[in-house]
Amino acid sequence: MQRRRPVMLVILDGWGFREETADNAVRQARTPSFDRLWRSGPHGFLRTSAKDVGLPDGQMGNSEVGHLNIGAGRVVMQDLPRIDAAIASGEIKRAPALIELIKKLKDSGGTCHLLGLVSPGGVHSHQDHATALARILTDAGVPAENRLFVTLDPRTRQLALPGGETVLVTDTVGFVRKLPHELVEAFRSTLDSVRLADLVVHVVDGTAANAEAQMAAVREVLGEIGAADVPELTVVNKADQAPDEAKALAHGIEGSVLISARTGEGVEELLRVLADRLRGSDRVVQLLVPWSRGDVLAAVHREGEVISQSDGEEGATLQVVLDDVGRARFAQYMTAPCT
């Protein structure tokens, strides 16, 4: 009688397989025990993303998803696609808890606060679910309070450009796709600075599978808040994580800049392009400032970019780059038309 031998089934959580060594900690590590077991014993692969584990196409799995599928011994539909399906079919509108909530809100005149993670990540939540619930509430006649992003004030900092100019850079919040029209107003107070900007720097995730859709969502909201005509510079980020995808995306967007915020790749080029674009939005004028107006001469140097200055008997003649505000302020000293 053949003696039975013990068998151990080892499932490696978070241990992916890829032949390339770049950005691959597993392949770069010294793993003598694993290498010996891999050579001498039977082994196989598990597909751990998308529909193979009950997730949407392109969605990566995680430990919770893996444990649930392995424990059940079958593909278990996860919460993310189940909620997606319920939204698409309208089933979510018929959920007893949601119907009861809407009734109580209407009867009491109370306020519904939607709290949760708002991002396209899909691991623990998805922004589309929050916006779908907001639509259901507003369609049912529940008043919408414009409080979205109320705590996210934009931050403004000074930035020195390669030519020595100093500009103000305002970092605004991110964008959410498919917002109900009533809630777009919530962006206005947060994004007022965008409408007043000389240039919008639109940062795009170069690794995103739906980057074009995300860009379209941003531009749609910019249009709704009255900022569609503000010049735009597209910056494709994460060139270090997905160089081929990021390069292809940047190549398809005229005038875009490819960078990696993590490694610093392309940042110098971005600053150069920023300076060129901002200078292009201004015009060169010639001013004659009398010597008796030293205060004006100082203001011109402070607020404009002086290209040249020549001194004469009547005063200083300057070639200077000025924006619309500067040209209006110093119009009485202008001796040559804008170029």
Question: Mind listing the pLDDT tens digit of every residue in the chain (339 residues)?
Answer: 678 888 888 888 778 888 888 888 888 889 999 999 889 988 888 888 888 999 888 788 888 888 889 888 899 998 888 999 999 999 999 999 999 999 999 888 888 888 777 777 777 788 888 889 988 998 998 876 655 555 455 667 778 888 777 777 877 655 555 555 555 555 555 666 677 777 889 999 998 888 888 888 888 878 877 888 888 999 999 999 888 888 999 988 988 999 999 899 999 999 999 888 876 655 678 899 999 988 899 888 888 878 788 888 889 998 887 777 788 888 899 886 544
CA dist., res. 89 & res. 291, Å (int): 76
Buried-exposed string 275-307: b where 16+ CB fall within 10 A, e elsewhere: bebbeeebbbbbbebeeeeeebbeebeeebbbe
**Active-site position among 40, 63, 281, 292:** 63
β-pair partners for 159: 167
**Cut 0.85: pTM above it:** no
Structure tokens at 259: 């960078």
Active-site annotation holds for 63: yes
> Are the C-beta atoms of residues 264 and 255 closer than 8 Å to each other?
no
* Helices 181-190, 211-224: crossing angle, 10 deg rounding: 80
How far is Cα 333 from Cα 310, in angstroms, rounded to an integer? 15
CA 146 to chain centre: 22
- Domains along the chain? 1-77 (no CATH), 80-139 (no CATH), 155-279 (3.40.50.300), 282-336 (3.30.70)
328's CB contacts (< 8 A; 6+ apart) are: none
Three-class secondary structure of residue 337 per DSSP: coil
Q: Residue 313, SS3?
A: coil
Residue with tokens 């891999």: 38
**Between vectors from CA 192 to CA 189 and to CA 195, what angle results, nearest 5°?**
150
What the block records as the tokens of 244 is: 């081929």
Q: Give residue 174's pLDDT.
A: 59
How far lies 218's CA from each of 201, 223, 302, in Å? 12, 9, 35
